[in-house]
């Protein structure tokens, strides 16, 4: 125990690590399976151990998985190498330990249970007698689904769980259970198992056609989880922290994957796989985010991706499945949502409706490319295996004896792709010259063939489901109906089959309880399609789940990437962000393709001078007025105008004001300086204006209209000046998408939003940075003053550069504030009364309708709040920081 006493304090500064011995391996004589019965109050269990003669795992050890057949039990299988035993202690991950009354547990190999301090060797699994597959599925005789207009009953008996039927492919998640005439036996389902099976009809050539989904419960027919429920509340009360999940924090190294570009990118040399962060890592650091003061987290897409470099999530392959490289035992996507909600944090899910992966979308259409396993290409094309399909967790090891050393190097990290290629043209193929040589060579010098790679112009996708062209004019009609990149197959979103596929997929995530959607590449789908199909479908699902009132709290904000500094995107209203906040004002054809063209030309001809305007963001003098959202489309926007002009805060402020009358309600705009794509002025590097400028930017964003949003790491100027993205041509560590977990290693507990109760390890150093203190206090101030969250604004009677007054009067609240950023200002014609500065606590009594603020400090702030009978001024909020003093 003396060794244990030396190691326990390290729990305050160490990040949990998984050893190589924790990865799946062939069982040897030294394998041990440990079952631990945890105290009822423990929400999770870690096993901290040292093989005989070996080193201890890093504190707090390795996470154990909940053993579902038996409540309160946790399981972990370990390989001890050559050791024949180990020393073990257990903990709940929050500082509570079970060290066997100071003696540690001495465990051997085989199967072992630990229950109430009693160790049982050569044991059987707890609850081994629990009923397994004792009841028949809910549909008599088997699972019934309708595909291609035909009702299909899967062969099923409670005793054997045989699944299979001729002429159909049946999948569960990403696993193919049967294909054509094959049958699959899925034995050993537990009493609590529930699976969703997807039934897809096959044509005579064995190609997929339409799909239907049905659900059956095995075992004791335990009800499926109810899913989650969004937190609700006005989204303008929140501030948003934006992360790339795969690059934020690694909670489970067992799901890390480098992919086929691991070596080429330089990531291998840095031991930095592209898929590194995960949901468990995010759950572990929710207190860090809350301690910064944020109440909402925007995460990158979660759906199963498929490409060579897909850690960002924007190459969706199966929109109905969560990517397994993000999930782990006890840390599913649902677990993340639930854990965030338990801490009062919202989850905004990034979603894509414009495009799929290069290969298409599983369950909708996947293309068949030409492939040949000859001497040049057998490293690339997986040998076909009946029933096997893509699984990104199963990467090629690069040690195939049938391949040369050079070929193994190229093959390493590539998941199975035998489901995508054919040596002969599939029935119905419209790709000309399928399999004939192009005369060209690959970068490696290998012969290239027609139809070897998906392309819109090669007619490799059905035109009713995918568009067939490349974008030529980014402000033209083709920007909404053509491919924007070779890796992104552009969906024909005007097709009803495509619409149903996407709506069905994202309904799943609404049912899980996400709080909102960030919509990627929204500009590349016609507004009329958003307004007629997708937005109403989302609203209907939300209303059915929550009722009309709460459904409106679901926050949708779209990326309409207008990379210009003016109000309208090169004069094209159809490609300007504010355009998407409005309903249609004309009637178009019932056919969605025709309607999209009609709308484009109608609005383009009307031009920028004939677009709707709004006063929803503006005060009337000093008075708040009820906003008119009757013409609101349902989609809010990222404020591209401010983003592009954030070379400095003043420029962003004045440009933002200039656009607000053309937005339905600019108080709902998402405002950020830089992101995972670009910095201001379409810069390719993360913001590098300096700490003082960052402080000023934040001060403006947290007090001006809109919802402040910060890209992960900006609170410490993480990777400032580094190129944001260079694909696989350079290591991720040298980019703005670098791994952040090292900066937040250790333990942190948030006492409230913007309040850290305790911190140790490197995260304590991170939390001591001046911009961290700055954003913490800004969040505290914003949360205490409703006018800063939801208020309309005005500069009438205001002198000063970045100075404005804001007011929110609704729902029993009357909050009025005078704001000056960096420099002084004079406010004339304001209501008389007592004003208290939220930064300094200074109190002013106004009797003549005027108040002057003296200020000259970049990034500093004054927020004089009027004490009203409904909402008294909160007084000084927080303590002085480097910038707020």
What is the C-alpha to C-alpha distance for residues 18 and 16, in angstroms, rounded to an integer?
7
pLDDT of residue 77: 86
Average of per-residue pLDDT values in the chain: 87
Q: Are strands 707-711 and 240-243 parallel, antiparallel or unpaired?
A: parallel
Using pLDDT thresholds of 50, 70 and 90, give the confidence band for residue 691.
very high
- Which of the pair, 193 or 753, is modelled with greater confidence? 753
100, 48 Cβ separation under 8 angstroms: no
Tokens standing for 533? 């199909």
Torsions phi, psi for 852 (to 5 deg) = -115, 135
pLDDT of residue 227: 80
pLDDT of residue 160: 41
Using pLDDT thresholds of 50, 70 and 90, give the confidence band for residue 21.
very low
Tell the burial category of 220 from Cβ atoms under 10 Å away from its Cβ (0-12, 13-18, 19+).
middle
Write down the residue that tokens 């006063």 correspond to. Answer: 615
pLDDT of residue 168: 56
pLDDT of residue 148: 47
H helical segments located in 521-591: 527-529, 535-546, 548-551
Write down the residue that tokens 């890209």 correspond to. Answer: 711
Q: What single DSSP character describes residue 328?
A: B
What is the C-alpha to C-alpha distance for residues 767 and 285, in angstroms, rounded to an integer?
13
- Which of the pair, 184 or 642, is modelled with greater confidence? 642
Window from 101-115, 317-331, 353-367 with minimum mean pLDDT: 101-115
574, 480 Cβ separation under 8 angstroms: yes
- The 10s digit of each residue's pLDDT in 274-309 is 999 999 999 999 999 999 999 999 999 999 999 999
345, 289 Cβ separation under 8 angstroms: yes
Any bridge partners for residue 556, and if so which? 517
Q: Is the pLDDT of residue 569 over 70?
A: yes
- Which of the pair, 759 or 428, is modelled with greater confidence? 759
317, 306 Cβ separation under 8 angstroms: yes
For the chain, count helices (H), then strands (E).
17, 43
What is the C-alpha to C-alpha distance for residues 802 and 710, in angstroms, rounded to an integer?
20
Strand intervals (E) in 800-878: 803-810, 813-828, 833-837, 843-846, 850-866
| Other CB atoms within 10 Å distance of the CB of residue 855 | 16
Window from 162-166, 351-355, 841-845 with minimum mean pLDDT: 162-166
Using pLDDT thresholds of 50, 70 and 90, give the confidence band for residue 171.
low
What is the C-alpha to C-alpha distance for residues 186 and 133, in angstroms, rounded to an integer?
11
The mean pLDDT of 718-725, rounded to a whole number, is 98
Tell the burial category of 681 from Cβ atoms under 10 Å away from its Cβ (0-12, 13-18, 19+).
middle
pLDDT of residue 129: 38
pLDDT of residue 703: 98
The mean pLDDT of 623-630, rounded to a whole number, is 98
H or E element at residue 114: strand 110-115
Any bridge partners for residue 178, and if so which? 170
Q: DSSP letter string over 448-476?
A: EETTSS--GGGT-S-TTTB---B---TTS
Using pLDDT thresholds of 50, 70 and 90, give the confidence band for residue 67.
confident
Q: Which residues contact 366 (CB under 8 A, 6 or more apart)?
A: 208, 359, 360, 419, 420
Using pLDDT thresholds of 50, 70 and 90, give the confidence band for residue 628.
very high
pLDDT of residue 201: 57
- Quote the percentage of the chain above a pLDDT of 70: 85
699, 822 Cβ separation under 8 angstroms: yes
Q: Is the pLDDT of residue 166 over 70?
A: no
pLDDT of residue 204: 56
The mean pLDDT of 749-758, rounded to a whole number, is 97
pTM: 0.78
| Other CB atoms within 10 Å distance of the CB of residue 579 | 24
Q: Is the pLDDT of residue 726 over 50?
A: yes
Q: Are strands 118-120 and 162-163 parallel, antiparallel or unpaired?
A: unpaired
Using pLDDT thresholds of 50, 70 and 90, give the confidence band for residue 151.
low
Tokens standing for 846? 């106004």
Q: Is the pLDDT of residue 164 over 80?
A: no
- The 10s digit of each residue's pLDDT in 75-95 is 888 888 888 899 999 998 878
Q: How far apart are the first and last CA of the chain?
A: 50
pLDDT of residue 194: 41
pLDDT of residue 25: 30
Q: Which residues contact 561 (CB under 8 A, 6 or more apart)?
A: 521, 523, 640, 677
What is the C-alpha to C-alpha distance for residues 165 and 212, in angstroms, rounded to an integer?
15
Tokens standing for 822? 């960096």
Using pLDDT thresholds of 50, 70 and 90, give the confidence band for residue 207.
low
Using pLDDT thresholds of 50, 70 and 90, give the confidence band for residue 39.
confident
The mean pLDDT of 198-211, rounded to a whole number, is 53
773, 600 Cβ separation under 8 angstroms: no
The mean pLDDT of 594-610, rounded to a whole number, is 96
- The 10s digit of each residue's pLDDT in 132-142 is 232 333 332 34
pLDDT of residue 198: 55
Window from 136-140, 751-755, 797-801, 872-876 with minimum mean pLDDT: 136-140
pLDDT of residue 116: 83
- The 10s digit of each residue's pLDDT in 92-125 is 887 888 988 888 999 998 899 998 888 888 888 8
Strand intervals (E) in 551-653: 555-558, 636-637
- The 10s digit of each residue's pLDDT in 663-674 is 999 999 999 999
pLDDT of residue 117: 84
pLDDT of residue 118: 85
What is the C-alpha to C-alpha distance for residues 231 and 217, in angstroms, rounded to an integer?
29
Q: Are strands 168-172 and 194-202 parallel, antiparallel or unpaired?
A: antiparallel
- What's the full length of the chain, in residues? 885
Tokens standing for 487? 């890796």
Q: Is the pLDDT of residue 367 over 70?
A: yes
What is the C-alpha to C-alpha distance for residues 416 and 385, in angstroms, rounded to an integer?
9
366, 207 Cβ separation under 8 angstroms: no
């Amino acid at each position: 125990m003396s060794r244990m006493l030396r190691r326990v304090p390290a729990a305050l500064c160490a990040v949990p690590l998984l050893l190589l011995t924790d990865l799946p391996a062939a069982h040897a004589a030294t394998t041990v399976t440990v079952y631990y019965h945890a105290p009822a109050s423990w929400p999770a269990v870690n096993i901290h151990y040292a093989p005989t003669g070996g080193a201890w795992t890093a504190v707090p050890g390795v996470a154990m998985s909940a053993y579902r057949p038996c409540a309160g039990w946790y399981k972990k299988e370990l390989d001890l190498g050559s050791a024949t035993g180990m020393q073990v202690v257990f903990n709940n991950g929050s500082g509570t330990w079970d060290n066997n009354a100071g003696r540690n547990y001495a465990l051997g190999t085989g199967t072992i249970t630990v229950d109430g301090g009693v160790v049982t060797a050569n044991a059987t699994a707890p609850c081994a007698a629990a009923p397994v597959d004792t009841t028949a599925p809910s549909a008599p005789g088997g699972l019934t689904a309708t595909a291609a207009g035909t009702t299909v009953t899967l062969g099923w008996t409670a005793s054997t769980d045989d699944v299979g039927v001729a002429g159909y492919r049946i999948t569960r998640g990403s696993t193919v259970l049967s294909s054509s005439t094959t049958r699959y036996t899925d034995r050993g389902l537990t009493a609590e198992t529930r699976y969703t099976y997807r039934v897809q009809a096959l044509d005579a050539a064995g190609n997929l056609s339409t799909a239907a989904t049905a659900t059956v419960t095995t075992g004791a027919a335990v009800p499926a989880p109810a899913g989650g429920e969004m937190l609700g509340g006005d989204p303008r009360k929140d501030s948003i922290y934006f992360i790339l999940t795969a690059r934020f924090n690694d909670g489970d190294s067992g799901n890390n994957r480098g992919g086929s570009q691991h070596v080429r990118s330089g990531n291998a040399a840095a031991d930095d796989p592209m898929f590194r962060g995960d949901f468990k890592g995010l759950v572990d650091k929710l207190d860090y985010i809350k301690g910064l003061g944020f109440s909402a987290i925007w995460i990158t897409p979660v759906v199963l991706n498929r490409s060579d470099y897909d850690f960002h999530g924007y190459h969706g392959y199966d929109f109905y499945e969560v990517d397994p490289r993000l999930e782990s035992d006890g840390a599913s996507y649902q677990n993340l949502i639930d854990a965030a909600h338990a801490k009062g944090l919202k989850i905004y899910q990034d979603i894509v409706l414009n495009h799929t992966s290069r290969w298409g979308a599983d369950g909708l259409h996947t293309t068949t490319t030409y492939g040949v396993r000859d001497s040049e290409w057998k490293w690339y094309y997986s040998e076909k295996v009946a029933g096997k399909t893509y699984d990104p967790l199963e990467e090629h090891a690069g040690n195939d004896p049938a391949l040369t050393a050079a070929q193994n190097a190229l093959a390493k990290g590539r998941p199975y792709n035998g489901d995508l290629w054919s040596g002969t043209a599939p029935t119905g193929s419209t790709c000309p010259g399928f399999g004939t040589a192009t005369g060209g060579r690959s970068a490696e010098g290998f012969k290239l063939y027609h139809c070897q790679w998906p392309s819109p112009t090669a007619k490799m996708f059905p035109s009713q489901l995918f568009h067939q062209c490349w974008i030529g004019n980014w402000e033209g009609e083709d920007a909404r109906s053509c491919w924007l990149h070779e890796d992104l197959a552009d969906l024909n979103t005007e097709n009803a089959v495509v619409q149903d596929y996407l709506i069905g997929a994202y309904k799943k995530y609404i049912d899980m309880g996400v709080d909102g959607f960030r919509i990627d590449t929204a500009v590349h789908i016609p507004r009329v399609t958003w307004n007629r199909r997708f937005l109403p479908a989302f609203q209907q699902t939300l209303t059915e789940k929550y009722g009309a009132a709460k459904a409106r709290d679901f926050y949708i904000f779209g990326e309409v990437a207008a990379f210009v500094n003016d109000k309208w995107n090169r004069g094209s209203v159809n490609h300007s962000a504010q355009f998407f906040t409005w309903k249609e004002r004309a009637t178009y054809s019932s056919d969605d393709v025709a309607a999209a063209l009609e709308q484009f030309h109608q609005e383009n001809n009307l031009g920028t001078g004939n677009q709707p305007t709004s006063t929803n963001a503006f005060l009337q003098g000093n008075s708040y007025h009820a906003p008119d959202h009757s013409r609101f489309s349902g989609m809010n926007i990222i404020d591209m105008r401010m983003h592009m002009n954030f070379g400095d805060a003043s420029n962003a402020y004045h440009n933002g004001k200039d656009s607000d009358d053309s937005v339905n309600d600019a108080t709902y705009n998402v405002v950020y300086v830089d992101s995972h794509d670009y910095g201001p002025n379409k810069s390719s590097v993360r913001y590098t204006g300096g700490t003082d400028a960052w402080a000023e930017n934040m001060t403006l964003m947290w007090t001006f209209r809109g919802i402040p949003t910060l890209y992960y790491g900006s609170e410490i100027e993480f990777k400032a000046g580094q190129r944001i993205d260079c694909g696989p041509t350079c290591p991720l560590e040298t980019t703005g998408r670098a791994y952040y977990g090292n900066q937040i290693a250790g333990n942190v507990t948030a006492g409230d939003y913007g309040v850290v109760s305790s911190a140790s390890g490197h995260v304590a150093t991170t939390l001591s940075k001046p911009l961290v203190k700055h954003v913490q206090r800004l969040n505290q101030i914003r949360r205490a003053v409703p006018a800063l969250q939801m208020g309309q604004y005005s500069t009438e009677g205001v002198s000063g550069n970045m100075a404005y007054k804001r007011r929110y009067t609704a729902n029993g609240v009357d909050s009025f504030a005078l704001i000056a950023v960096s420099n002084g200002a004079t406010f004339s014609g304001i209501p008389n009364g007592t004003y208290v500065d939220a930064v300094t606590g200074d109190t002013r009594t106004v009797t003549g309708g005027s108040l002057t603020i003296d200020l000259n400090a970049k990034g500093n702030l004054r927020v004089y709040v009027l004490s009203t009978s409904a909402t008294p001024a909160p007084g000084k909020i927080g303590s002085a920081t480097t910038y707020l003093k």
